[in-house]
């Protein structure tokens, strides 16, 4: 976008083209525990994950599923907890709750680079370098029945 925006007689328009959000199993498995979901949230640097997946200018971020262009649905409630990125706090939460290192399984479709995002999350966010349990990555296409697994997000 930077290459063309400076050209004469070129106007660049930017619009929201979609939303990326994890679908988390709150009923079974690791993510049924609110403390575990909070630890994962603190462990991840969402901006780093998105930049590695889409490039520096390929996305916008916000704490609400809907953006400000949707005033009926938009809220900033909880925004103070969005993209905090505090790996030490994540470790504290896991230790406090006796986390045993069970890996978190990420199941990702190949649509919209979601498989790239899962690999990026593994290596820069919830991966072995920052998260004691690590992650296990599988593409949805390679994992029959993955949508029914209790430990998938």
d(CA 40, CA 34): 10
By residue count, the chain amounts to 153
Residue 69 lies in a domain: yes
Enumerate residues 6+ apart whose C-beta is below 8 A from 117: 20, 49, 50, 53, 108
**Domain of residue 56, CATH code:** 3.10.105.10
Residue 38 lies in a domain: yes
Residue 21, token pair as written in the block:
């959000």
Residue 14 lies in a domain: no
pLDDT at residue 123 tops 90: no
Residue 11 lies in a domain: no
Residue 2 lies in a domain: no
Residue 84 sits in which domain range? 24-148
Coil vs helix vs strand at 92: helix
Kind and range of the H or E run holding 50: helix 46-54
Q: Count how many domains the chain has.
A: 1
Residue 29 lies in a domain: yes
pLDDT at residue 75 tops 60: yes
Residue 106 lies in a domain: yes
Tell me the H-state helices in the chain.
2-5, 34-43, 46-54, 87-96, 114-120
Enumerate residues 6+ apart whose C-beta is below 8 A from 123: 129
Per-residue pLDDT reduced to its tens digit, 78-109 = 899 888 999 999 999 999 999 998 888 777 66
Alpha carbon separation from 112 to 15, 30, 48, 81, 88 (Å, rounded): 16, 26, 17, 26, 31
Residue 13 lies in a domain: no
pLDDT bracket for residue 34 (50, 70, 90): very high
Coil vs helix vs strand at 137: strand
Is residue 122 within 8 A of residue 131, CB to CB? The reply is no
pLDDT score recorded for residue 2: 66
Cross-strand bridge partners of residue 152: 105
């Amino acid at each position: 976008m930077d290459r063309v925006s400076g050209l004469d007689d070129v106007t660049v328009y930017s619009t929201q083209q979609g939303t990326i959000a994890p679908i988390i199993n709150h009923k079974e498995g690791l993510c049924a525990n609110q403390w575990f979901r909070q630890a994962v949230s603190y462990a991840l640097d969402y901006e780093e994950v998105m930049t590695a997946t889409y490039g520096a200018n390929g996305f916008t971020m916000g704490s609400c599923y809907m953006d400000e262009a949707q005033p009926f649905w938009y809220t900033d409630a909880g925004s103070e907890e969005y993209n905090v990125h505090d790996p030490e706090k994540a470790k504290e939460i896991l230790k406090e709750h006796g986390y045993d290192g069970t890996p978190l399984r990420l199941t990702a479709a190949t649509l919209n680079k979601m498989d790239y995002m899962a690999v990026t999350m593994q290596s820069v966010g919830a991966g072995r370098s920052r998260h004691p349990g690590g992650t296990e990555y599988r593409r949805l296409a390679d994992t029959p029945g993955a949508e029914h697994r209790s430990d998938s997000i």
